[in-house]
Structure 1
Amino acid sequence: MPNAKPLTHALVACLAIGMFATDAGAQRRGAAKAPDGPTACTDFYSFVNKDWLTANMIVGSGSVSALGELQALALQQQRELLDAAMQSPQNNVQQLLGDFWASGLDEAAVEADGAQPIAPLLSRIDAIRRARDIPPAIAALHQVGIPVVFNFNADVDLADLTRHIGYFTQGGLALPDPAYYTRDDADTKAILDRYRDYVRSILALAGVEEKSLDAETAAVIDLETEIARHWRAITLARDPRNNYAPVPTAGFDKQYKRLQLDEFLETNGIQAETVSMANPALFARLDELVGSVKPAQWKSYLRFHVGNAMAPYLSRTFREAEFEFHGRVLRGQSEPLPRQTQVLNAINKAAGPMLGREYVARHLPEGARLRATTIATEVRDALLRGIDRSAWMSKPTKAEARSKIETLRIEIGAPQHDLDYSVQPMGRGSFGGNMLIASTWRHREEMRRIGRSNADQRWDVLPQQPALAYDIAQNRLIVSAAVLQPPVLDMTKDAAAHYGSYGALVGHELGRSIDIRGRVVDAAGNVRTWWNEGDEAAWTDLANRLSGQYSGYAYPAATALMVNGTQTRDENAADLAGVELAWDALTTTNAELPKESAQAFFEAWAQLWRQQMSPDVANRMAASSVQAPGQWRANGPLVNLPAFGTAFDCKAGTAMQAAEEQQVRIWR
């Protein structure tokens, strides 16, 4: 379905809110007791959140967090919006969304529909007779959001971050790593055996006769294995610069004559003089394969990939086969998601911007938007003051940092879409058919980005997804409509609390614009490192001092583990920067801040990171997460802030207030 973007997730959107994954498997409200006797000066996190922690003990396996609860709220709001659109649509977009939602919830209709939604695609594949018929079929599948053989996406041009270009990237495999096809260890072989059974099941459901199943299954895996041999290592693709290799499209008709890449671009509405192709050896091999591999083998491959891509949206036999392999074997899930969740995920995948438009109209009060804009602007101004008084930045670096922050944009609620919402009518009889209609629309709108200087009109997060992010490519702060709710922005609380939660998250992200991450794009939007060696050494010294601090913290719920201060270093620094900047913004606009308001600021910060985990989840997070657990995201920055000690009368040298010479400061 719609392609993953190779650059955006690595370069553009640096999400601040790292615990938005939906909490699952948590059995709460057990009889265990929270730790007795925490005080503000011994463990502020447990002191503030004692009641919540007691009410949300984990029994069994799972996790729960305040930000996970926000994610659940946003999903419930989306379901309610779709219910209303289904029952009484108020405009054309709501009519589309309501029909899409209704068709997915009607499981009897989905069963009756069977494999009919993909029948036209399979017929197109069956019509392949010669090698020259293969590339048009590939292009047609890309058009409906089913990328086969390779991936082609719209993403930012690293030479001009205001525009998009097309990226030809490696793809064409149904397994997540090319090593699955070539490693010979027992575990990999076992997974490949399970995958072989899955391919066979999908081909059978797609109409392949029993007598041909073994041969066609082998044909699919053999062709995927050959493609996998020409992939570059996945680790290379994680660096955006490794995906960027501009090449002229002139000559594609001769260079990729059999693969017909010139006609692929034309079919997908692309008129561009330049595209990116970082792995030309793969595409050269694909060009050879179109001519050397028999059309029958290509037909088996394409038939399977249509069934694989569409299986989650078809009848139960397709869904069960897809879940048994992708869900149970690859993702380790014990059971499928509830039907409503599956349908909502499908709508967000194929028609997310449509749902986002309606979500903003319904769930973004003007008061919250104005409050969010005001605080974000004040935090930005606080960062300018922090740059001026910085002891670790050199003078030239300060000048570049100021220029970058002075030109930074703040976008609240939703992007300035330039989308065309004209879509083929959906109806309520075919969920799979609606998925293809919506995916075709989403692909069309993505392709329209290419060659246009409109990168600032799109976001790579949806407004209905709780997200607060710094977009490094466009030098802007993105605040989604869904995030402007408790615990991030609670309009019923003391105004100072808004700075402690929302304002500190804004500071976290804005600080990233000019820290170790933001240093790779300058104020003019050029991809270059604008720090000097002295700046980097000074930053590293600050960050390493934080590493030492956090490495002394026990990991909550884990089995005798400590926080990995090196692994979480940069996020810990961003948290400290965020609280520093939010406090500066608050106290600059409120010179005579009452003590109660000062306390409300810090309490809001601690409440943001409420979290409970079972030991197995904690052990996994300790090994992999780049963010500290909630207890230390809350407490860690406050240990370094004299203002916290003043607000709660904590003496220097106590657990929650480091001695002055031991405190780490970034922007204060």
Structure 2
Amino acid sequence: MHAMTQRLAPLALALSVVLVAGLASPDAMAQKKKKSSKPKAPPAPTACTDFYSVATADWAKAHPQPATGSVSAMGELAERSLQQQRDLLDAAMQGPQGNVQKLLGDFWASGLDEAAVERDGANPVAPLLARIDGIRKAKDIPPAIAALHQVGIPVAFNFGADIDLRDLSRHIGYFGQGGLGLPDPAFYTRGDADTKAVMSRYEDYVKKILTLSGTPATRLDADAKAVIDLETRIAQASKPIVSLREFQSNYAPVAVKDIGKTYKRLQLAEFLKAQGVTDDTVSIANTQLFTQLDAMAGSLPPAQWQAYLRFHVGNAMAPYLAKAWRDAEFEFRGRVLRSQATPPERWRQVLDAITTAAGPMLGHEYAARYVPAGTKSRAEQIATDVRSALGRAVDRSPWMGASAKAEAKAKLDKLKIEIGTPRRDLDYSVQPMGRGSFGGNMLIASTWRHREEMKRIGRGNADRRWDVLPQQPTLAYDIAQNRLIVTAAMLQGPVLDMSADSASQYGSFGALVGIELGHAVDNKGRLVDSKDTVRDWWTPAENDAWNALGQKVTTQYGQFEDPALTGIKINASQTLNANVADLSGVELAWDAWRNANASADATAQKAFFQGWANLWAQQSSAQDATARAATGVHAPGKWRVNGPLMNLPAFGEAYACKAGSAMVSKDPIRIWP
């Protein structure tokens, strides 16, 4: 009280001086009114008015709003994982522990030695170009295509392993469209000025790569036009990019015994043998394209195919060869297509190359180095608890009927949890790399990765690996395999901080697990049942109830203003699925933690909410926020934090928030009441 009196006394004296002066000067009162008309500064946020701002205040001080782009807690995690990979590769280069590290260390060293890369020139691709030079007749073309696929350079079309929609326990080979030097077939068919400008730049790029690959100047113009002509024919028979997202329409199983007859000139049966594929079924959805390719294999001059294949070898390998190749590739792909001003640092380029060609190798070593057994077991325990919480949520769900509840529980009983790395490892036997040729090592590694990819095709191999790498921060539900995937890189702060207390771990890692596990039984998971059959096991009533929940979420989130854009509300329809998942994830994680900590007091409870907030701290420039608002499927960090918490009664109770507070919803939405 004494201190308060001391602070008030000078203020009272100052006011008396103003009043006396006002008696002596008629203008003083007007001046006072003018000053008092200034808007008051908004009150400092509290946990009950804006929990996000309070919980992330220290992070925000350390990360001012950037002039361009954005910074975020999860973005920092991604950067940390890259530095960890760099440290691992440095150690493997200096003192490898085991054969895999020896391979990686040599690969890394060969890429960092730019003088050696320069001396190596185009030597790595010389055998491939010589093979192409040996094409004399139409029948020589398909074997050359197959040989390039084997070393990880897909030409003419794409071929890869994916789930068999009729039998989710296996993968089959998918023949798909590809074979273009530009990312979208529409580049070759549109006639607008911008597209023509890109095509002109592309033709210049084709000439540079052909020159570097040994094409004489006298043939350069003709060969470049031959390449673009062949690609244009492929593009004209290709589907629009957007249609490739419709997985059902891109699934068309056919018997392998029939494709050799249907596509005789393209020799697809022999192609499969060359890739080591012995399965009895493949998918070819775009028969128009493959009919066109089959005709082209027999009708276009071999010399045109040679020009096309030479260019694509150079185009694929340019980032890993001498500086002239890298500069040509960056000038077109970096500046024109990716809008990059400068190339990435050399170590990042080499790490990208290793990720592309030997990513699973690096992931194997990354998990061994950075994920202690205790961290993995803790993650498994939390994930198991959240799965149990989802089971309880299904039991009490008011919008699920008895049949749907039974199906959901059956799925959860079978749901697998895979932490750190895939359960089934790969065969790491690879030709020794050495440190003399980065481009050569790239081909060795990509040949190995293609071989391992082809092994996924066939019965019983569907769960052989993940579609993400252990060193890439990812936490996801794999709907086809009914499994939760948590990569090694996710098992660190702010996701799973082993130095934090239990409540914080459930609020961060547990909530992310809840977000993903919810997809096993929500409007996505409804499309695959507990027997791994693709079918909709919801009734129309459950569909209507889910849509009604979604409408409530859209209405509520549609009132939230974007914190980085003045007067702009978030697009709640665009972010709906993620908003619902956030609500679900927080609910499930809270139930999982409270189930084992029923007597925890408010102080302990607050750590849970802080853990959730730690995930979504972010600062965005106006430009980045504008782009995110237009296309992003997630709400800004502020609303990823505040939205779920204002709907969770436990939050308001823990912070003693009064009814009517911004962080206490008047009409709370619960996905799992």
TM-score, normalised with respect to structure 2: 0.93
**Does residue 503 in structure 1 map to residue 510 in structure 2?**
yes
- Asked whether the equivalents of residues 66 and 620 of structure 2 are also in contact (C-alpha less than 8 Å), the reply is no
**Once the 2 structures are TM-superposed, how far is the Cα of residue 450 of structure 1 from its aligned partner?**
1.0
**Once the 2 structures are TM-superposed, how far is the Cα of residue 556 of structure 1 from its aligned partner?**
2.4
One-letter amino acid of the counterpart of residue 228, structure 2: I
Return the alpha-carbon distance in structure 1 between the equivalents of residues 180 and 523 of structure 2.
35
Aligned to 1:6: none
One-letter amino acid of the counterpart of residue 668, structure 2: Q
Return the alpha-carbon distance in structure 1 between the equivalents of residues 636 and 398 of structure 2.
29
Among 155, 175, 187, the residue aligned to 1:180? 187
**Does residue 286 in structure 1 map to residue 293 in structure 2?**
yes
**Does residue 372 in structure 1 map to residue 379 in structure 2?**
yes
321-330 or 34-43: which moved more?
34-43
Aligned to 2:88: 81
Pairs within 5 Å for 1:458-477: 458-477=465-484
- Asked whether the equivalents of residues 556 and 618 of structure 1 are also in contact (C-alpha less than 8 Å), the reply is no
C-alpha distance 591-59 of structure 1, shift in aligned 2 (>3 A): closer
Among 550, 562, 569, the residue aligned to 1:562? 569
Q: 4+ residue runs of structure 1 moved beyond 6 angstroms? A: none
Return the alpha-carbon distance in structure 2 between the equivalents of residues 83 and 316 of structure 1.
23
**Does residue 302 in structure 1 map to residue 299 in structure 2?**
no
One-letter amino acid of the counterpart of residue 595, structure 1: A
Return the alpha-carbon distance in structure 2 between the equivalents of residues 504 and 369 of structure 1.
17
Aligned to 1:665: 670
Aligned to 2:640: 633
- 1:242-271 deviation per Cα after TM superposition (whole angstroms, max 9, x unaligned): 221100111333221111111101111111
Q: Tell me the SS of whatever aligns to 1:39.
A: coil
Aligned to 1:272: 279
**Does residue 616 in structure 1 map to residue 623 in structure 2?**
yes
Among 255, 261, 265, the residue aligned to 1:254? 261
Aligned to 1:99: 106
**Does residue 224 in structure 1 map to residue 210 in structure 2?**
no
Return the alpha-carbon distance in structure 1 between the equivalents of residues 525 and 211 of structure 2.
50
Q: Which has the larger radius of gyration?
A: 2
**Does residue 236 in structure 1 map to residue 240 in structure 2?**
no
**Once the 2 structures are TM-superposed, how far is the Cα of residue 497 of structure 1 from its aligned partner?**
0.4
**Once the 2 structures are TM-superposed, how far is the Cα of residue 560 of structure 1 from its aligned partner?**
4.0
Among 545, 552, 568, the residue aligned to 1:545? 552
- Asked whether the equivalents of residues 366 and 471 of structure 2 are also in contact (C-alpha less than 8 Å), the reply is yes
Aligned to 2:31: none
- Asked whether the equivalents of residues 85 and 471 of structure 2 are also in contact (C-alpha less than 8 Å), the reply is yes
One-letter amino acid of the counterpart of residue 510, structure 2: G
252-261 or 289-298: which moved more?
252-261
TM-score, normalised with respect to structure 1: 0.93
Return the alpha-carbon distance in structure 1 between the equivalents of residues 285 and 319 of structure 2.
31
Among 104, 111, 132, the residue aligned to 1:125? 132
Q: Tell me the SS of whatever aligns to 2:163.
A: strand
C-alpha distance 358-593 of structure 1, shift in aligned 2 (>3 A): same
C-alpha distance 286-312 of structure 1, shift in aligned 2 (>3 A): same
- Asked whether the equivalents of residues 311 and 319 of structure 1 are also in contact (C-alpha less than 8 Å), the reply is yes
One-letter amino acid of the counterpart of residue 457, structure 1: R
Among 414, 423, 440, the residue aligned to 1:416? 423
- Asked whether the equivalents of residues 99 and 426 of structure 1 are also in contact (C-alpha less than 8 Å), the reply is yes
- Asked whether the equivalents of residues 455 and 461 of structure 2 are also in contact (C-alpha less than 8 Å), the reply is no
**Does residue 52 in structure 1 map to residue 59 in structure 2?**
yes
Pairs within 5 Å for 1:136-155: 136-155=143-162
**Does residue 524 in structure 1 map to residue 531 in structure 2?**
yes
- Asked whether the equivalents of residues 70 and 486 of structure 1 are also in contact (C-alpha less than 8 Å), the reply is yes
Return the alpha-carbon distance in structure 2 between the equivalents of residues 158 and 351 of structure 1.
28
**Once the 2 structures are TM-superposed, how far is the Cα of residue 233 of structure 1 from its aligned partner?**
1.7
Aligned to 1:595: 602
Among 648, 653, 666, the residue aligned to 1:646? 653
- Asked whether the equivalents of residues 468 and 506 of structure 1 are also in contact (C-alpha less than 8 Å), the reply is yes
Aligned to 1:116: 123
- Asked whether the equivalents of residues 558 and 616 of structure 1 are also in contact (C-alpha less than 8 Å), the reply is no
**Once the 2 structures are TM-superposed, how far is the Cα of residue 36 of structure 1 from its aligned partner?**
6.8
Among 62, 70, 73, the residue aligned to 1:63? 70
- Asked whether the equivalents of residues 395 and 405 of structure 2 are also in contact (C-alpha less than 8 Å), the reply is yes
Q: Tell me the SS of whatever aligns to 2:463.
A: helix
Among 489, 492, 498, the residue aligned to 1:485? 492
Return the alpha-carbon distance in structure 2 between the equivalents of residues 551 and 338 of structure 1.
41
Aligned to 1:400: 407
One-letter amino acid of the counterpart of residue 299, structure 1: Q
Among 446, 454, 460, the residue aligned to 1:439? 446
One-letter amino acid of the counterpart of residue 573, structure 1: V
Q: Tell me the SS of whatever aligns to 2:458.
A: coil
Give the CA RMSD over aligned residues: 1.2
Return the alpha-carbon distance in structure 1 between the equivalents of residues 488 and 42 of structure 2.
36
One-letter amino acid of the counterpart of residue 407, structure 1: K
58-67 or 593-602: which moved more?
58-67
**Once the 2 structures are TM-superposed, how far is the Cα of residue 35 of structure 1 from its aligned partner?**
8.6
Structure number having the greater helix percentage? 2
- Asked whether the equivalents of residues 559 and 619 of structure 1 are also in contact (C-alpha less than 8 Å), the reply is no
Q: Tell me the SS of whatever aligns to 1:479.
A: strand
Return the alpha-carbon distance in structure 2 between the equivalents of residues 582 and 330 of structure 1.
42
One-letter amino acid of the counterpart of residue 161, structure 1: L
- Asked whether the equivalents of residues 256 and 281 of structure 2 are also in contact (C-alpha less than 8 Å), the reply is yes
Pairs within 5 Å for 1:565-580: 565-580=572-587
Return the alpha-carbon distance in structure 1 between the equivalents of residues 575 and 203 of structure 2.
39
- Size of the aligned set, in residue pairs, is 633
Aligned to 1:17: none
Unaligned runs of 5+ in 1: 1-33
Aligned to 1:383: 390
One-letter amino acid of the counterpart of residue 255, structure 1: T
C-alpha distance 35-64 of structure 1, shift in aligned 2 (>3 A): farther
Return the alpha-carbon distance in structure 1 between the equivalents of residues 377 and 390 of structure 2.
20
Percent sequence identity over aligned pairs: 63
Return the alpha-carbon distance in structure 2 between the equivalents of residues 76 and 301 of structure 1.
38
Pairs within 5 Å for 1:3-14: none
Unaligned runs of 5+ in 2: 1-40
Aligned to 1:656: 663
463-472 or 143-152: which moved more?
463-472
**Once the 2 structures are TM-superposed, how far is the Cα of residue 240 of structure 1 from its aligned partner?**
1.5
**Once the 2 structures are TM-superposed, how far is the Cα of residue 357 of structure 1 from its aligned partner?**
1.1
Return the alpha-carbon distance in structure 1 between the equivalents of residues 66 and 590 of structure 2.
37
**Once the 2 structures are TM-superposed, how far is the Cα of residue 558 of structure 1 from its aligned partner?**
3.0
Return the alpha-carbon distance in structure 1 between the equivalents of residues 559 and 335 of structure 2.
37
Pairs within 5 Å for 1:183-194: 183-194=190-201
**Does residue 204 in structure 1 map to residue 211 in structure 2?**
yes
- Asked whether the equivalents of residues 559 and 615 of structure 1 are also in contact (C-alpha less than 8 Å), the reply is no
One-letter amino acid of the counterpart of residue 476, structure 2: A
